[in-house]
Chains A and B, each alone.
Chain A
Amino acid sequence: MGQPVLVDGVRTPFLKVGTVQKTATDFGVAVVNELQRRYPDLNRSVDCVVGGNIGNQVFYKDYSRKDASNIARVIALQAGIPKEVPAWTVNNNCASGLHAPRDVALAIYAEEFDCGVAVGVEDMSDYPAIYPREQRNLFAEFGRALKKKELFKISKLYLKGNLFMPHKPIWALETGLTDPIAKLKMDQISDGLAKEFGLSRDHLDQFGLESQRRASAAQRSGRFAKEIVEFDGQKHDNGVRHGQTMAQLAKLPPNYPGGVTTPGNSSQLTDGAVALLIADEAYARAMGWPILARLYPKWWAAAGCEPERMGVGPVAAIAKLIKKTGLKLSNFGLIETNEAFAAVVLSQLAILTSKEKCAELGIGEPMGDFNEAMDKVNVNGGAIALGHPLGASGARLLLTLALEMKLRNVRLGLATLCVGGGQGEAMVIERV
């Protein structure tokens, strides 16, 4: 059996939508190129490239845009990785970025490969608008009528579409953030969780403020610079609001009337890419590569829950993981959980710090109280400050976690994400 290890990782700065006019491939190529620069043997060593991406997998007629359905392959070829190296893309919504390294690790564990690159990438500014079936039918009819020069039909179609060719596209960004089963927007789910766990606007805003302050401190101390490579002239995550104040957060109106979720306590729409280099431990040592952390394919779990409670998916995943591995909550010195919404993290912590609920889940002792938990959770802030480029977030959590574990000399760390659609993924890594 192989022993997969995380050798290194790099990410672009996480940039608010519209900051740069680049495609997802550009982001992905930038991080893979940086890995190639750091490890000149990479092109000869790499056995596979696994991408994590959700919304940029479309066919563009304009080939200069270069995004395609299997974006990992496009990135690999663009970055100059040999054409013989296979590449595929995984999609498990928000957890795609965590699932991609897990895929690589699993292949290495199975001794299929020695070395692989996982690329989580998302360009939320480049999300397309989609025409639904009815609209497409209308287009087709219009085309046929034009061809046959049926003026009467054309004029009728014009009237139907309010004299102009009707455009009623579906915005991928909007649909992507809506649960089709529960028929709820993600922020409505956040509101629901807040209600269920008795979280007030104050709790959420305080968490949002804390995330911003932690990220601000980490950015100013140069902590993030260790994981970031300059991209298109941008050096820093630009979602971080230095000097954010409570008064500013408290002023924001809620996204839904009567709700508690505001832009201030939700993650931001962001572009970004993360690349992780994962290899077999013996191979990495032979190549003289550094080793950040060990990944154990078994120390991973994905689990489902009700779609309308997708925020507590990680709890189900963690419970599964703990039962599977025999680890305890107290083993994890650091926890990175994706701050899709403040309510999501707070409800996870509400369960994980409650004795009764932990007993109910069968995961033994809870994490201690909320304040103690906050000393371990997202110590450098999270998606509320940095942003949540869906497919890249999981890989960022893993990278940030591994680096922080090294800094703080922590043995075990947990990275977890809630997944839209009612799932959670969790992965434990071990510092070497």
Chain B
Amino acid sequence: MIQSLRFVSSLGRWLMHGGNFWKEVPNGDDNTLTLALDCPNEKQNVLSVAVLEELSEILDKLMLLYKNSSPNTKDRFPHDQFPKVLVLTSAKRGSFCAGAKIEEFLPLLENPDAAGDLLDKGHQLILKIRNAPFPIVAAINGLCLGGGLELAMACKFRVAVGGPKTKIGLPECALGIIPGFGGTQILPRLVGLMKALEIILKGAERKMFSAEEMAKFGLVDKVVAEGDLIKEAKALALSGDRNSRNVSRSVVLQALPAVRHFILSQARKRMIKESRGIYPALFHAIESIGNFHLPLEDGLKREKDLFSKCLRTREANNLINIFLLDKEARGCQPDRKVDLPKRPAVLGAGLMGSSIAYSLICNGFQTHMHDSYASSITKALIFIESELLRAVKKGAMTPEQAERTRNLLTYSSGESLSKFAGRDFVIEAIIENLDLKQTELRRLERHLDDDAVIATNTSSLLPSEIAKGLFNPRRLTAMHFFNPAHIMPLVEMVGHPESSPEAMAKTLEMAKMMKKVPIIVDRECQGLVVNRILMRGFGWALFELIANKVNPWHLDSALERYGFKMGPFKTMDLVGWDTGEKVLREMAGQYPDNYPVRMRDFELTVRKDTLGAKTGRGFYHWQKGKAVKANKSVLELLRVVGSHSDLSAVPRVVTAMELEAYKIFDEGVCASKDMIDLAMIYGAGICPNRRGIFGIQKSVSASATAHTPS
């Protein structure tokens, strides 16, 4: 026994010799080998080519050893002292592997043919893992996405830690590509065609699944507690209890040709309906998954071809570019070091205030929330508590976590603002009224320390105007969240000429700590970036309806086919006609040249029961937050007679928005075209497939735009 122990430990040292990424985890006295991935200098484990090559080398060495060992127990390397089980896990807590290294895709985008060789190597590794003479187990602790999951799927067994930390998914489609590391082939073999389609296609919305859900699908063999992960992984490999009894039957059934074709055609139809058919990767993914009945080698070959095909598309270029822009925006550093805000507070507990407060407590801030009206506080509490309950139900939080999060919130109502004493960062979200904001903020200032920052959540009022009412205008900045603030990742932030650099730096730090994508607007203006561009588009879309009698539903769907996540009329319904009209009027008053003249005396809010989604009726009939069908009576209501479909309206609306975007760039409101694009994509869902309004600039990736869409 002692001899074998020594053998295994020296084996590990020999295997790992010269490696950077895979480390051996010391074992008990059993004949197993545990390798933990630990990418140096990275927060999360990512699969780079080097990581995979190292793993491949280790496996080669093991295989060589296995071949040379003899069944004779008296020999130097007897079989029974050879590691019986290989466990792959991560040395980073909460991150098994977050997927492939996106930066390594960039040269591939310019030269898609090189992808073939790379994928070949990857596929060989997968086959190596699958054909290993000893079981290989993936012990998943934390995030397991994309390439990480594909690596895990190649293993014989998967064991995952239960609870909210473990998130499993294949979000490749969100980048305009398909899982290319065997994902589309092995996943349907494990969970069946339908579930595989669900997991991969939902990946386009970055949907992730918990370990428990995946265990139900049959992907994860066992869900265990964090402490027992390695132990359970070994036990499972030795006992060989697979979690696939129910699944295997459906896998076989779904592989029957007729069933397969039916499921695939249904998936295609659904994708055309949901994504408007403008993301080719989804259809390539469906095609690739459909090859799962072929022998694995053939399937992988076809997957490789489809992957290269995806890389050639403009959409993949654009979506990968957005991913990098997102990283750039999130990594934005302030120009000076400041004390990080620790005790934020929210003034105003309306729709925005409460979701901002929720977002704050979810990021671990002890937050105070205040509103003049007790009824707003009640509504805010109901909102926050129900969101927490939903998070628990979804498995994103444990009940204890939810309770702890709820305990971070304190609240007060009424006249007195004394509870703001000692707060270092106040986000103000009261109604958009200059006088009210000024008086409330002045009252608030009495209770604040000198270096406390006030960030006003406004887009229609100028921070410099609000600052006029303050004792210390230097502390005021603007932080414009989007509704609902706990879901929308975007925050536009802007200072006024007098804002102190410290206040700006603190605001940026706060946005980053709230895990938002901060878009720094360089010069204040009414509407900031997103609302200015969006509202101009809306103004002209409405003009098309009123003046040109363009059918609004056709225009919506045409714009959605162009790349809008949601057409302007549908968005108007969601915003609410009354609010939308108010903002539109304000913007039209501010920038009269940019809006059609007819908009000035056009009444949108005619009837109280037709105010968009909140009343269940607008341009669409709404049920449970979803637009069900067109509400034809709107035309009568707005006195539009005889609407017709006119596709030439699409470029007119888009051009209006483009002009506004260029104007914003030209006026120096936002100096970076990339950031304007990112703001429009995250804030309004405008054309992720075209990478926003400007598209990829030549300087970012000179030849990436040269490829024609396939």
Contact call B418/A371, Cβ cutoff below 8 A: yes
Contact call B418/A243, Cβ cutoff below 8 A: no
Contact call B378/A205, Cβ cutoff below 8 A: yes
A-B contact pairs, 16 of them (CB 8 A): A202-B375, A202-B377, A206-B378, A206-B381, A206-B413, A209-B381, A243-B399, A245-B382, A246-B378, A246-B381, A247-B386, A250-B382, A369-B415, A370-B414, A370-B416, A371-B412
Query: A372 at interface (Cβ–Cβ under 8 A)?
Result: yes
Contact call B418/A245, Cβ cutoff below 8 A: no
Contact call A203/B374, Cβ cutoff below 8 A: yes
**Least Cβ–Cβ distance between B421 and chain A, in angstroms:** 10
Given A250-B382, A370-B414, A371-B412, A243-B375 contact (CB < 8 Å): no
Query: B51 at interface (Cβ–Cβ under 8 A)?
Result: no
Contact call B377/A247, Cβ cutoff below 8 A: no
**Least Cβ–Cβ distance between B387 and chain A, in angstroms:** 11
Query: A330 at interface (Cβ–Cβ under 8 A)?
Result: no
Q: Which residues of B contact A243 (CB under 8 A)?
A: 399, 403
Given A217-B407, A243-B403, A246-B385, A202-B419 contact (CB < 8 Å): no
Q: How far is the CA of A242 from the CA of B386 in the complex (A)?
A: 15
Q: How far is the CA of A371 from the CA of B410 in the complex (A)?
A: 11
Q: Which residues of A contact B411 (CB under 8 A)?
A: 206
Query: B389 at interface (Cβ–Cβ under 8 A)?
Result: yes
Report which A residues bind B (CB closer than 8 A): 200, 202-203, 205-206, 209, 213, 217, 242-243, 245-247, 250, 368-372
Given A368-B418, A371-B418, A245-B389 contact (CB < 8 Å): yes
Q: Which residues of A contact B407 (CB under 8 A)?
A: 213, 217
Given A206-B381, A209-B381, A247-B385, A372-B374 contact (CB < 8 Å): no
**Least Cβ–Cβ distance between A191 and chain B, in angstroms:** 17
CB closest residue in chain B, given A374: B412
Which residue of B377, B389, B415 contacts A206 across the interface (Cβ within 8 Å)? B377
Contact call B416/A200, Cβ cutoff below 8 A: no
Extra inter-chain contacts (20) besides given A246-B382, A371-B418, CB under 8 Å:
A200-B374, A202-B373, A202-B375, A205-B378, A206-B377, A206-B411, A209-B381, A243-B399, A245-B389, A246-B381, A246-B385, A247-B382, A247-B386, A368-B418, A369-B416, A370-B412, A371-B412, A371-B416, A371-B419, A372-B418
Q: Which residues of B contact A371 (CB under 8 A)?
A: 412, 414, 416, 418-419
Chain B stretch 367-410: residues in CB contact (< 8 A) with chain A: 373-375, 377-378, 381-382, 385-386, 389, 399, 403, 407
Q: Which residues of B contact A209 (CB under 8 A)?
A: 381
Q: Which residues of B contact A202 (CB under 8 A)?
A: 373-375, 377-378, 413
Q: How far is the CA of A202 from the CA of B373 in the complex (A)?
A: 9
Q: Which residues of A contact B419 (CB under 8 A)?
A: 371
**Least Cβ–Cβ distance between A362 and chain B, in angstroms:** 24
Q: Which residues of A contact B416 (CB under 8 A)?
A: 369-372
**Tally of B interface residues using CB under 8 Å:** 21
Q: Which residues of B contact A203 (CB under 8 A)?
A: 374, 413
Q: How far is the CA of A368 from the CA of B421 in the complex (A)?
A: 14
Contact call B374/A245, Cβ cutoff below 8 A: no
CB closest residue in chain A, given B370: A371
Which residue of B373, B378, B399, B413 contacts A250 across the interface (Cβ within 8 Å)? B378
Given A369-B416, A371-B418, A206-B382 contact (CB < 8 Å): no
Chain B stretch 5-50: residues in CB contact (< 8 A) with chain A: none
Q: Which residues of A contact B386 (CB under 8 A)?
A: 245, 247
Scoring A243, A369, A371, A372 by chain B CB atoms within 10 A of each residue's CB, the highest score goes to A371
- Contact bitstring B348-376, A, C-beta under 8 A = 1, else 0: 00000000000000000000000001110
Q: Which residues of B contact A200 (CB under 8 A)?
A: 374-375
Q: How far is the CA of A370 from the CA of B377 in the complex (A)?
A: 15
Q: How far is the CA of A214 from the CA of B375 in the complex (A)?
A: 21
Q: How far is the CA of A243 from the CA of B400 in the complex (A)?
A: 10
CB closest residue in chain A, given B381: A246
Which residue of B375, B385, B412, B415 contacts A245 across the interface (Cβ within 8 Å)? B385
Q: How far is the CA of A272 from the CA of B451 in the complex (A)?
A: 51
* Tally of A-B Cβ pairs under 8 angstroms: 52
Q: Which residues of A contact B378 (CB under 8 A)?
A: 202, 205-206, 246, 250
Q: How far is the CA of A203 from the CA of B418 in the complex (A)?
A: 18
CB closest residue in chain A, given B416: A369
Q: Which residues of B contact A205 (CB under 8 A)?
A: 378
Q: Which residues of B contact A369 (CB under 8 A)?
A: 414-416, 418
**Least Cβ–Cβ distance between A262 and chain B, in angstroms:** 13
CB closest residue in chain B, given A251: B382
Q: Which residues of B contact A250 (CB under 8 A)?
A: 378, 382
Q: Which residues of A contact B373 (CB under 8 A)?
A: 202
Q: Which residues of A contact B399 (CB under 8 A)?
A: 243
Q: How far is the CA of A370 from the CA of B415 in the complex (A)?
A: 9
**Least Cβ–Cβ distance between A279 and chain B, in angstroms:** 40
Q: Which residues of A contact B381 (CB under 8 A)?
A: 206, 209, 245-246
Given A245-B389, A246-B382, A371-B412, A206-B418 contact (CB < 8 Å): no
Closest CB pairs A-B (n = 6): A369-B416, A202-B374, A246-B381, A245-B385, A202-B378, A247-B382
Q: Which residues of A contact B374 (CB under 8 A)?
A: 200, 202-203, 206
Q: How far is the CA of A246 from the CA of B382 in the complex (A)?
A: 5
Q: How far is the CA of A148 from the CA of B438 in the complex (A)?
A: 90
Q: How far is the CA of A267 from the CA of B378 in the complex (A)?
A: 20
CB closest residue in chain A, given B402: A243
CB closest residue in chain B, given A249: B378
CB closest residue in chain B, given A242: B403
**Least Cβ–Cβ distance between A89 and chain B, in angstroms:** 42
Q: How far is the CA of A369 from the CA of B374 in the complex (A)?
A: 15
Q: Which residues of B contact A246 (CB under 8 A)?
A: 378, 381-382, 385
**Least Cβ–Cβ distance between A195 and chain B, in angstroms:** 15
Q: How far is the CA of A243 from the CA of B388 in the complex (A)?
A: 11
CB closest residue in chain A, given B374: A202
Q: Which residues of A contact B412 (CB under 8 A)?
A: 370-371
**Least Cβ–Cβ distance between B361 and chain A, in angstroms:** 14
CB closest residue in chain B, given A204: B374
Q: How far is the CA of A160 from the CA of B411 in the complex (A)?
A: 60
Q: Which residues of B contact A370 (CB under 8 A)?
A: 412, 414, 416
**Least Cβ–Cβ distance between A243 and chain B, in angstroms:** 6
- Contact bitstring B539-578, A, C-beta under 8 A = 1, else 0: 0000000000000000000000000000000000000000
CB closest residue in chain A, given B375: A202
Q: How far is the CA of A246 from the CA of B386 in the complex (A)?
A: 9
Q: Which residues of B contact A368 (CB under 8 A)?
A: 418
CB closest residue in chain A, given B403: A243
CB closest residue in chain A, given B373: A202
**Least Cβ–Cβ distance between B409 and chain A, in angstroms:** 10
CB closest residue in chain B, given A246: B381
**Least Cβ–Cβ distance between B470 and chain A, in angstroms:** 22
**Least Cβ–Cβ distance between A239 and chain B, in angstroms:** 19
Chain B stretch 413-428: residues in CB contact (< 8 A) with chain A: 413-416, 418-419
Q: How far is the CA of A213 from the CA of B373 in the complex (A)?
A: 21
Q: Which residues of B contact A372 (CB under 8 A)?
A: 416, 418
Q: Which residues of A contact B413 (CB under 8 A)?
A: 202-203, 206
CB closest residue in chain A, given B411: A206
Q: Which residues of A contact B375 (CB under 8 A)?
A: 200, 202
Q: How far is the CA of A371 from the CA of B416 in the complex (A)?
A: 8
**Least Cβ–Cβ distance between A13 and chain B, in angstroms:** 22
Q: Which residues of A contact B377 (CB under 8 A)?
A: 202, 206
Q: How far is the CA of A245 from the CA of B390 in the complex (A)?
A: 13
CB closest residue in chain A, given B415: A369
Q: How far is the CA of A370 from the CA of B385 in the complex (A)?
A: 24
**Least Cβ–Cβ distance between A159 and chain B, in angstroms:** 55
Q: How far is the CA of A243 from the CA of B405 in the complex (A)?
A: 12
Q: Which residues of A contact B382 (CB under 8 A)?
A: 245-247, 250
**Least Cβ–Cβ distance between B423 and chain A, in angstroms:** 13
**Least Cβ–Cβ distance between B668 and chain A, in angstroms:** 44
Q: How far is the CA of A242 from the CA of B404 in the complex (A)?
A: 12
Q: How far is the CA of A200 from the CA of B376 in the complex (A)?
A: 12
Q: How far is the CA of A255 from the CA of B382 in the complex (A)?
A: 22
Q: Which residues of B contact A206 (CB under 8 A)?
A: 374, 377-378, 381, 411, 413
CB closest residue in chain B, given A353: B416
